[in-house]
Structure 1
Amino acid sequence: MKQRFRVGEVAKLFQLSASTLRYYDEVGIFQPKFTDPDSRYRYYSIEQFFVLDTIIFLKKNGFTINDIKQQLKQRTPENTKDLLERKLEEVEEERERLKKVSEKIQSKIATIEEGLSLRVNPSLVYRWFTERAIDYIYNDEPIDLGIESDALYLKDLEDLSLAGVDYDGFFTGDFGTIVDIDSLTKEGPVKYRAVFELLHNMEAIETSSLNAGLYACYPHLGPYEKIKTSYSFVLKQLEHDGYFVAGDPLEIAMLDESVTQDKTAYITLIQIPVNKKD
């Protein structure tokens, strides 16, 4: 039976690249055992193959080169068990992180799907919402966001940085606003008395919330600057349907610049708290 093997032969047997074996040689975890005195060719022995099996198993399961070096130098059942337990803890933590990432991505897909559906069928519907957790970015006197939005965004970034809070970035469906209802009947732009982040993560600290209740929901299609035309339609329809406005309207960005470069494709979901007239 053959006892000595060249780099290329070992690479083929174990489905590795020759460069990988050379790297393992360089870092000192798997080196040829024999050197031919005449040709200077280097050979691995079949007795070394268990070492390569160990390396392959550990490498494919996320262990570092330092982990592998430790295992090869201090192979005892106790040390091996400790190494595996530490890796298992890391894997469990990563699994939880990936679960949260999956939930976030699923939520964003659902938001985009809803936005696309609203674009195809932009109808007024009455929908009951449970209490929704939010975190205010701004909550003060009514302002024109066409002028103030950049300053608010910068201030929020600065506040998060100073607080040492992990910044995960914002994406479509994260932001909402509370409209100053009086501005809807006045000349000029719609004004807003609050800007908030919707807290999709239920583990987050709930600083504030949107009231549960019945909301008249209508998608505004296009630039924010033209949203008054949608409010005009919705308010007339409420009167026709026998509802009255029970609070300041909300706006939720469903499809925004994070998912489209075309402002005419924006979808902003207007949500107006309503009650039925007696």
Structure 2
Amino acid sequence: MYKINEFAEMTGLSKETLRYYAEVKLLEPAYTDPSNHYRYYDDGSFFLAILLVKLRGFGFTIQEMISVMEDESFEHLEDLLIQKRNNIQMQIEDLHLRIEEIDDFLASGKEENE
């Protein structure tokens, strides 16, 4: 079992984030000592925490991460990752179009000044 300080160091999640994740039932401690309310995490918690770090890095919202964690079999995780990838790809394409529009706008301003 790991105290919250140790677990935060191991996972890269802050103590505040771990407390928030417990509050929203995203990642609850394996054990909370009733006498002092210290939170303890185990190796299973470590796996879930690393998954959450990855999902957050992929741009998942808290609600999306809760959906993943509620599906304890992770049966739909691949579908969600593919959907997230497709959404990111569409955002990239949209940003490329915006860049082209800005370049066109800049070019048209230069042509008028000549």
* Band the TM-score falls in, shorter-chain normalisation: 0.7 to 0.9
TM-score, scaled to structure 1: 0.37
Match of 2:100 among 103, 109, 126: 103
More helix by share: 2
Q: Counterparts of 2:75 and 2:5 in 1: how far apart (Å)?
A: 35
Name the amino acid aligned to 2:109: G
Identity %: 32
Q: Counterparts of 2:21 and 2:44 in 1: how far apart (Å)?
A: 17
Task: Show the counterpart of 1:7.
Answer: 4
CA drift of 1:16 comes to 2.3
Task: Show the counterpart of 1:24.
Answer: 21
Mapping 1:1-278, distance limit 5 Å: 4-76=1-73, 78-107=75-104, 111=107, 173=109, 252=112, 269=113
Change (3 A) 1:48 1:77: closer
Residue by residue over 1:30-49, the C-alpha shift from the partner in whole angstroms, topping out at 9 and shown as x without a partner, is 11121224333121112211
Change (3 A) 1:10 1:62: same
Change (3 A) 1:104 1:64: same
CA drift of 1:68 comes to 1.1
**Which protein, 1 or 2, shows the higher relative CO under an 8 Å CA cutoff with sep ≥ 6?**
2
User: Aligned with 2:55: secondary structure?
Assistant: helix
User: Aligned with 1:43: secondary structure?
Assistant: strand
Provide structure 2 residue ranges, at least 5 long, that are not aligned to the other structure: none
User: Aligned with 1:91: secondary structure?
Assistant: helix
CA drift of 1:11 comes to 1.4
CA drift of 1:83 comes to 0.9
Provide structure 1 residue ranges, at least 5 long, that are not aligned to the other structure: 112-171, 175-216, 218-251, 253-268, 271-278
More strand by share: 1
Name the amino acid aligned to 1:31: E
Q: How many residues are treated as equivalent by the alignment?
A: 114
Higher CA-based Rg: 1
Q: Counterparts of 1:105 and 1:14 in 2: how far apart (Å)?
A: 41
